[in-house]
Amino acid sequence: MNAPVVSKPIDKYIPWLFVVFFLVIAAVDTVFVTMAVRTHTGVVTDQAYEKGLAYNKTLEDSAAQSALGWTGEVKLTRDLLTYDLRDQKGNAIEGATLKASIKRPVTQGYDLDIDLKSTGPGAYQAPLSLPLKGQWQVRIYAKVRDQEFQTNAFLLVP
């Protein structure tokens, strides 16, 4: 003989618990989707297709730069951007034309380009006052005669 099935008062709520569970999941997903759509800045890379096609040229340029053996060091002290450019043997490289491209990775509208002037053997400087605290990306482009060199650095402005 089978024992009689005894139902507890909470048993009638079990189907509703499943419904509530999926409603909570849907609500959390809605919040995440809304945040993603509102914070997306749009285009991540301008002319991505053309840059992709030119990637072999980028690799060749990188190999040529590595073969030079040059080194560059970027420093930011107070309101002065300083760059030290050295060759393979550690000798100062003079007569270079330097440009700096400064960007704030998390905020648009503060990017700037400046020229650095020679202040001594291998030393180059430019006045620089950054409007916001935080991390900044600095890319230095150096050109000496027909040779080009790039340095990428991240600076923290306290």
For the chain, the structural domain boundaries read: 11-37, 70-157
pLDDT given at position 45: 80
Q: Is pTM beyond 0.85 here?
A: no
CB 100 within 8 A of CB 138: yes
pLDDT given at position 117: 95
Give the integer Cα–Cα distance in Å for 69 and 4.
87
Say if domain 70-157 classifies as CATH 2.60.40.1930. yes
Give the integer Cα–Cα distance in Å for 158 and 151.
22
Phi, psi of 69 (to 5 degrees): 80, 15
**Tens of each residue's pLDDT in the chain, 158 residues:** 677 777 788 888 999 999 999 999 999 999 999 999 888 877 778 888 998 899 999 899 899 999 999 999 999 887 899 999 999 999 999 999 999 999 998 888 899 999 999 999 999 999 998 888 999 999 999 999 888 999 999 998 88
- Which tokens is 2 given? 């089978």
Return the closest-CA partner of residue 70 out of 147, 139, 125: 147
Residue 76 CB coordination number (10 Å):
17
Q: 10 Cβ partners below 8 Å, 6+ apart? A: none
102, with CB counted inside 10 A (0-12, 13-18, 19+), is: buried
- Which tokens is 37 given? 């759509």
- Which tokens is 25 given? 């999941």
- Which tokens is 8 given? 């507890």
